[in-house]
Structure 1
């Protein structure tokens, strides 16, 4: 929040003391409670003249916790910087809990710095704490500790109840996800050697009605629509595929099915619903977008499946509306559309819409009956890129790519590079043939692994930037790092338990079979000649990472020659190597 500049008092008497105010509320809501921003502002304005002060500004952090040490209070930092650079005699708050609910060891350094600047801290409801009075400093520390303990007790109570509910298989959320309802159930478990009976809440699909207008039927209608259409060939634009979320939403609205809030369906709403793991019976936390300072907003970014701390398996919280295997397969489809990769047979052109065929300028190439062409719109000029269009004979490119694949399959003496390509093709074929439940769970685990690893990387960046300077900062760094690494260990153990797909034997003899008298693997009677577009695309996806097409040096004239070997470069499949821990990160850790 931006600080508000307070007007000078209208009376003409000289006011020697200068004050700034600070207001904070944990949740963004306007109410009439004693902690509301309006109430705090009014109390601060009344208190300033009583203290003989002219109020300069009021700083506000709304929707920001005073307890969580990881949350950044932007206006609180602005207040401190203002006090460091300007003459200020007093900071006025409604009560000490607005100033801080953090541990005294985190709050005291801030208080001591303000006291060293000669700044008093005044609480409207608890009195003033002066920098030159040791007893008042002790009283302030005691108030800060009481505020912290109050928040800690509440936090631990809530966390403890949630942990117990999770341990018993309960749902700990607020409003049930769309299509689900909660119900109570008494369960008994042995905790620390003693039987404990508690009432937990579980989730189940909402009851269906004959008209199919209930929430559960709406969800299943969308899911069924996606599965009905997702594997059918499509020659139109990728984002207009009839199994895309936007197309399904348009279909739902045209059919008159009412949306979540009684109006029309919207694509973001449908996507949020379809990606919710709780529909598959899994416990999950909502992941929110973060602002530029790293604080969470109210916009949903996705969900994180909650897992058992020991086994890493998903925690179940009741009945599934969508069977887990089907839900994981749905997520694979939705993720594939986001990343631009999919196993779906898109259209009839061999190399288009697979993410492998690209123009020299970096744009994807599209297909027509005879040609592949750059997708840059006509008339668009880009600095440093080719002028005009870039087209190439489709059949000759297909033939060139196929022969590169066959050369790998038929190499008698396989060098290291060829063996790497065969190994990667084997891994990819295993993924295609794998059970969708295991494949989907592994994808979810790998996503969580990446998220945690990125969080650790960001911590090292902050460490390098000096955010964790000082004894307290180093302790916080080590504590947060230990927490993330513990989570990472559980995820990695679960990834190992789920395992990778079984590595099948590549059917090389089948792919290279030919009845051509010259032994041409693409000739008459060959597998390639008999295979359909979907099978050929599958083979390309196994063995090729990228096909890059350069613009022709000039027009071919009446005797057009494609010169495909000069214009087309094929990058064969290569294994993805895990990155090693940067040496700089190790050095930073040793310094801590």
Structure 2
């Protein structure tokens, strides 16, 4: 009777290559080996794009293979070589081997022979093979890590495909390490040479950036996703002009956004960050970039020349983030309150503008349980007037109560952000994002500890090591945030905003700031002082003598500090903020 066997193939890279360990080669060798061993091959389990060295990576098919062996009669597992079975430390791999041996299963390597459960010497040989595979991977990993670490210390690029519009070049540099001069050859990045016809990658990338800066601060009355400075609109413009993308293909929005978001275009070192699957394993789908920083100072590491000046790149990132989150300082339309994320219907939907009305954006005919029936509209001019008067009331009674002072303090902080240097603002946003990621990593580490993943002496040591590493990174980021500091806090121009020539002193009357201000300035004032404007549906139709009871229908929630908006503020900044508001 033929023995029953299952195969297992694994490759760290998802794409097939010409190496002897490619998935196709492994499959063919396993199929040939099965009849030589007197076995009928039932199935081949395959983990492609999965490391056999990293103990934190989950091998789905390998786990399925083990479960199949536990539940069914299997006599043999066939692999191409032992490195496909495992590259992990023997202490991690041996329990799996012993379990398979207890089930009477022989492990066969096409290249190294068979290891049966009833032969002690073969068990010892298998353990030695596993240890050799682990040491080989460990040595390679340490060599690569050391090379990359040294390159980072010397300000070098750590390899891979150069970013779009950039090329790498070699340069010898000398640094003092541990008191001794060390000279190494590192690779740096610089923009690719320019062509006269502007078809080189650097010129095309700059053309996209210039297009965004040409239009991003101009008013736009059309649909938001049609704004000429949006990435999708820039891509459409590039394609219509015949500027081809990589490999001669047409431009796509995700590709353009990925290029424009790359910190390496500004001369900063960065690592690519990939999305993770449901098991927490990295996929091949890019989610963004992580800017690399000096371990001691927290400052960005530079890796050569910049294609986009850092200050301009940081300002570009602010625009891209604003587009992604649906928020921006750009006046999207001529309406004061629309497209700012401020004006909301009582059903929580945003309200849109028409020539004379603000209206709920719920599509006609759509019914939502527990929400208002039919539409919800309100006179546009009356709402604008009501919101403006609420703001003026705060400005003209600045010293009256603590709640008003809180609103003024938050408005001061927001005005400071608007006037701040884009490079400082961008770096702080990057630092705050990194701090958030580290905090999440620490929380996940403690969750794993609570779940028992780090049980035992070795597990406890690994937990403490990872905890120390994360806390060290957190301290560096916190120190750098303090060094970057907050924006310089200005005094609010209250006298300018409340100025009026109206004989009755009306702050919105004839000759007032509000009356003279254009839509962009009015929107700016609203963004400083208002968090939300909520509109309730009218109790009934107005009849012949329609009156907009705006005071009864509209609630204005004035600006209040939010945790996520204060994440870069230190205690000194809070004191300075209070002093600035008091002076104002």
| Fold agreement, TM-score > 0.5 | yes
Pick from 53, 56, 67: which aligns with 1:67? Answer: 53
Confirm whether residue 253 of structure 1 aligns to residue 207 of structure 2: no
Pick from 202, 207, 216: which aligns with 2:188? Answer: 202
Pick from 249, 254, 267: which aligns with 1:268? Answer: 254
How far has the Cα of 1:386 moved from its partner?
2.2
Structure 1 CA distance, aligned partners of 2:201 and 2:313? 17
Structure 1 CA distance, aligned partners of 2:143 and 2:101? 35
Confirm whether residue 102 of structure 1 aligns to residue 85 of structure 2: no
Whether the 8 Å contact between 2:411 and 2:559 is mirrored in structure 1 is: yes
Secondary structure of 2:307's match? coil
Confirm whether residue 364 of structure 1 aligns to residue 350 of structure 2: yes
Structure 2 CA distance, aligned partners of 1:412 and 1:371? 32
Secondary structure of 1:185's match? strand
Moved more, 321-330 or 554-563: 554-563
Structure 2 CA distance, aligned partners of 1:106 and 1:18? 27
How far has the Cα of 1:514 moved from its partner?
3.0
Secondary structure of 2:247's match? coil
Matches within 5 A, 1:234-245: 234-245=220-231
Structure 2 CA distance, aligned partners of 1:56 and 1:425? 70
Report the equivalent of 1:120. 106
Structure 2 CA distance, aligned partners of 1:539 and 1:412? 16
Cα deviations by residue, 1:520-571 (Å, 9 ceiling, x for unpaired): 3323333222222222211111111111111112211111121112211122
Secondary structure of 2:563's match? coil
How far has the Cα of 1:470 moved from its partner?
5.3
Whether the 8 Å contact between 1:119 and 1:131 is mirrored in structure 2 is: yes
Report the equivalent of 2:384. 398
In 2 relative to 1, CA 157–445 (structure 1 residues): closer, same or farther, beyond 3 Å?
same
Whether the 8 Å contact between 1:551 and 1:567 is mirrored in structure 2 is: yes
Structure 1 CA distance, aligned partners of 2:214 and 2:228? 10
Cα deviations by residue, 1:457-516 (Å, 9 ceiling, x for unpaired): 344444555555555555444443333333222222211111111222222232223343
Report the equivalent of 2:307. 321
Structure 1 CA distance, aligned partners of 2:419 and 2:405? 21
Secondary structure of 1:519's match? coil
Structure 1 CA distance, aligned partners of 2:32 and 2:163? 45
Report the equivalent of 2:270. 284
Report the equivalent of 1:447. 433
Report the equivalent of 2:291. 305
Matches within 5 A, 1:138-157: 138-157=124-143
Report the equivalent of 2:160. 174
Pick from 52, 63, 80: which aligns with 1:77? Answer: 63
Whether the 8 Å contact between 2:398 and 2:404 is mirrored in structure 1 is: no
Structure 2 CA distance, aligned partners of 1:272 and 1:412? 45
Report the equivalent of 2:171. 185
Whether the 8 Å contact between 1:342 and 1:354 is mirrored in structure 2 is: yes
In 2 relative to 1, CA 308–50 (structure 1 residues): closer, same or farther, beyond 3 Å?
same
Whether the 8 Å contact between 2:194 and 2:203 is mirrored in structure 1 is: yes
Pick from 311, 327, 339: which aligns with 1:341? Answer: 327
Whether the 8 Å contact between 1:396 and 1:564 is mirrored in structure 2 is: yes
Whether the 8 Å contact between 1:312 and 1:493 is mirrored in structure 2 is: yes
Moved more, 125-134 or 444-453: 125-134
Moved more, 27-36 or 490-499: 27-36
Structure 2 residue runs without a partner (length 5+):
566-584
Moved more, 323-332 or 366-375: 366-375
Cα deviations by residue, 1:350-393 (Å, 9 ceiling, x for unpaired): 10111111112222111122111112222333333322221101
Pick from 307, 318, 337: which aligns with 1:351? Answer: 337
How far has the Cα of 1:412 moved from its partner?
5.9
Confirm whether residue 57 of structure 1 aligns to residue 48 of structure 2: no
Secondary structure of 1:261's match? helix
Report the aligned-residue RMSD: 2.1
Report the equivalent of 1:586. none
Report the equivalent of 1:91. 77
In 2 relative to 1, CA 51–86 (structure 1 residues): closer, same or farther, beyond 3 Å?
same
Report the equivalent of 1:9. none
Whether the 8 Å contact between 1:88 and 1:119 is mirrored in structure 2 is: yes
Report the equivalent of 1:427. 413
Structure 2 CA distance, aligned partners of 1:469 and 1:117? 26
Whether the 8 Å contact between 1:32 and 1:39 is mirrored in structure 2 is: no
Moved more, 227-236 or 534-543: 534-543
Confirm whether residue 520 of structure 1 aligns to residue 511 of structure 2: no
How far has the Cα of 1:194 moved from its partner?
2.2
Cα deviations by residue, 1:441-472 (Å, 9 ceiling, x for unpaired): 11111122222223333444445555555555
How far has the Cα of 1:411 moved from its partner?
2.9
How far has the Cα of 1:87 moved from its partner?
2.8
Structure 2 CA distance, aligned partners of 1:574 and 1:78? 53
Confirm whether residue 229 of structure 1 aligns to residue 212 of structure 2: no
Report the equivalent of 1:437. 423
How far has the Cα of 1:155 moved from its partner?
1.1
Confirm whether residue 21 of structure 1 aligns to residue 7 of structure 2: yes
Secondary structure of 2:202's match? helix
In 2 relative to 1, CA 85–466 (structure 1 residues): closer, same or farther, beyond 3 Å?
farther
TM-score by length of 2: 0.92
Report the equivalent of 2:547. 561
Report the equivalent of 1:588. none
